[in-house]
Amino acid sequence: MSSSKGESPSEPQVNQQIPQEKAVEDQANVLAAPVGLVSIVIVCCGQLEFTRLCVPSLLYHSRRPYELIFVDFGSLDGTSEYLAGVAAAAPVRVVIERSNPDRSLASACKEAIMKSWGEFIVLLNNDTIVTNDWLDQLLALANSSAEVGVVGPMSNYASPPQRVDEVTYRLRTKTVVQNPNTVEDGSLHTMIETVDRFARQWREQNRGKWFEAQRLDEFCLLIKREVLLKTNLFDGNSSLSIFAPNAFAIKVRKAGYHLAGCVDLFIHHFGTRTVAKADN
């Protein structure tokens, strides 16, 4: 299986806002976007220490064309400034959706998704570390059949059957959490490489394996845009059920699609950090 490829936008567009009254998004931009464009929506509820691991892994391991859409959910820990720096330096389109924590996280994520241009949407927690070829592997499985609508990876912190119990590495996260602003970039890079080494070994042992899932955990989901359209996500009166995995899976199947687990793809998930922080 091979994933769709295309050229990246000719120049990065930073913090570009698409008027809400256009209902879904600027349709001309969606149609003009590169074939196979992936919109990666990263939810940041503070927790800068995890975002500083997630974003470098994304930039290092993601093959274009893709765009980054950050949901800054009431962060007060320097996340906003960090994301502004990412937007200024990233070689791709970046949108930062700042949201008042008085709103629901689902509402903030829905608004961010509505500003996406991609043929595919990835919803990703900021407490994850992605690995080599992660996006290509998700796309390959999604493109393997028109009936596959949603795809998710394996991880150390996930519900069965996505959970990998035999993880052989350990991350020194205590130092990062307690002193996020004093950890050198080299230490962050070492953590990312540690996860990636395990992911490469895991891929070799499980190459080509996948399963049809009844549900998928929401920490990392690749969803075809057509699925979101057919499940009425872009309807102004609809609610975003991605954070209720069972309900979302039912909607996906009713729309005529399958959910699939990518067995040979492993990403690290610290677990409960993103959504738990939003609930506080």
Query: pLDDT tens across 43-98, in order?
Result: 998 889 999 999 999 999 999 999 999 999 888 889 999 999 999 999 999 999 99
- Parallel, antiparallel, or unpaired for β 120-125 and 220-224? antiparallel
Measured CA to CA, the distance from residue 231 to residue 255 in angstroms comes to: 6
pLDDT, tens digit, for every residue of 224-249?
999 999 988 765 555 566 678 898 99
Two tokens, residue 185: 């970039």
Domain 20-279: which CATH number of 3.40.50.300, 3.30.750.80, 3.90.550.10, 3.10.450.30: 3.90.550.10
Measured CA to CA, the distance from residue 215 to residue 44 in angstroms comes to: 24
User: CA angle 167-170-171, nearest 5°?
Assistant: 130
> Considering only CA atoms, which of 57, 69, 59 is closest in space to residue 99?
69
Asked if residue 25 has pLDDT above 80, the reply is no
Domain boundaries defined on the chain: 20-279
Q: What pLDDT, on the 0 to 100 scale, is given for residue 73?
A: 87
- Total-model pTM: 0.84
Averaged over 17-45, what is the pLDDT?
A: 72
Asked if residue 100 has pLDDT above 90, the reply is no
Q: What pLDDT, on the 0 to 100 scale, is given for residue 175?
A: 53
Asked if residue 14 has pLDDT above 90, the reply is no
**φ and ψ at residue 92, rounded to 5 degrees:** -130, 170
Two tokens, residue 254: 């009713």
Instruction: Find residue 95's DSSP bridge partners.
Output: 69
Q: What pLDDT, on the 0 to 100 scale, is given for residue 5?
A: 33
- Chain length of the chain: 280
SS3 121: strand
Measured CA to CA, the distance from residue 71 to residue 101 in angstroms comes to: 11
Q: What pLDDT, on the 0 to 100 scale, is given for residue 24?
A: 47
Instruction: Find residue 125's DSSP bridge partners.
Output: 43
